[in-house]
Amino acid sequence: MRDELDSQDDTFEEIHPLFRGAPTSTEFRKLRKRLVRETRAAIETYDMIRPGDKWLVCLSGGKDSYTLLAVLHELKWRGLLPVDLLACNLDQGQPGFPATVLPEFLTDRQVAHRIEYQDTYSIVKEKVPEGRTYCALCSRLRRGNLYRIAREEGCQAVVLGHHRDDILETFFMNLFHGGRLASMPPKLLNEEGDLNVLRPLAFIAEADCERFSRAMNYPVIPCDLCGSQEGLQRVQVKRLLDEWESRAPGRRQVMFRALMNVRPSHLPDPKLFDFTQLFPSDFSDKPQSDAPVLREL
């Protein structure tokens, strides 16, 4: 088992063709090691691995999913990820989607993959009223198709490229607009109980995904193929977090740590903590103090 990230004798080409042409700079090596270390930490923290399982790694063509794919293959190469990996792209029929980019990339980089075409875009356009955002329905249709593909391929997990910033943004969207404290869990069992949904990049900053995919010159597909909607709640929350981060660098990491340090007894949710048992002990058998009693006015 090769577990030394500081080993100087391994080249990126030896790891996997996904690392072909990787920069040899010290800065890039540090970035890669940080990505691998933080991904491994998330996988171990949330007990994601069951040896012998098969993971469907969802590839949108964005910077995050490219980073996910590369890091998982490095962990597998190092003997730290004893599962089979199958990359999958769901072409949802968005106008302008470059359908040949991902198949050519995955074939060239020797990545086992499946490309699926399902025109969910037309369904979304038909069902969503003019002026409303497409994301909620689009996401549900995409998830349903990915679950189906995972079952057809004999996978036990659907693996997504959501990172730390996605998790934070979802938390604030739920806080501001949903009236609940909730976010994206790093590990989730679906309602049917037959598939895990995993987010191994849960500890990784979006900026690191951006740096990695740009340095690797991966063919990133824009995320606004269905039309960039500036009124999206997520866009607004992202701007707010960017502003906070600019004023106090490191604020995002502090807020994420807070999500991992929840105190149920300090939140006013009676379903989360049993407040009915909180009464002072009975001191009636103890001698009464001579101190004057302060009576409520």
Q: CA distances (Å), 136 to each of 120, 132, 143, in order?
A: 12, 10, 11
Question: Considering the domain boundaries, does residue 220 fall inside one?
Answer: yes
User: Could you give the angle at the alpha carbon of 152 between the alpha carbons of 226 and 150, nearest 5°?
Assistant: 55
Token pair recorded at residue 40 = 């491994």
Number of domains composing the chain = 1
Task: Answer whether 158's CB lies under 8 Å from 150's CB.
Answer: yes
159 membership: H or E segment, kind and range = strand 157-159
Mean pLDDT across the stretch 287-296?
Answer: 52
CB 81 within 8 A of CB 108: no
- 131-175: pLDDT as tens digits: 666 677 777 888 999 999 999 999 999 999 999 999 999 999 999
Annotated binding site: 135, 138, 226
Rounded-to-integer distance, Cα 109 and Cα 198, Å: 24
Structural domain contains residue 111: yes
For 62-115, give the DSSP string.
Answer: SHHHHHHHHHHHHHHHTT---SEEEEEEEE---TT--TTHHHHHHHHTT--EEE
Residue 245 lies in a domain: no
Higher pLDDT, 8 or 152: 152
3-state secondary structure of 59: coil
Q: Is residue 295 part of a domain?
A: no
Residue 190 placed within a domain: yes
CATH code of the domain covering residue 88: 3.40.50.620
Q: List binding-site positions for [4Fe-4S] cluster.
A: 135, 138, 226
Helix (H, G, I), strand (E, B) or coil at 133: coil
Q: At 198, is the secondary structure helix, strand, or coil?
A: strand
Within a domain: residue 58? yes
pTM: 0.87
**54 within some domain:** yes
In this structure, the strands spanning 54-58 and 157-159 are parallel
pLDDT at 1: 41
Helices (H) and strands (E) in the chain, counts: 10, 6
SS3 at position 206: helix
Instruction: Note whether residue 101 is domain-resident.
Output: yes
Q: What is the mean pLDDT of the chain?
A: 88
- Expressed as residue numbers, the domain containing 96 is 12-228
Q: What is the pLDDT of residues 66-113, one digit of tens each?
A: 999 999 999 999 999 999 999 999 988 888 889 899 999 999 999 999
Residue 55 pairs with which residues in a beta bridge? 85, 157
Specify the pLDDT at position 225.
Answer: 54
pLDDT in tens, 172-220: 999 998 999 999 999 999 999 999 999 999 999 999 999 999 999 999 9
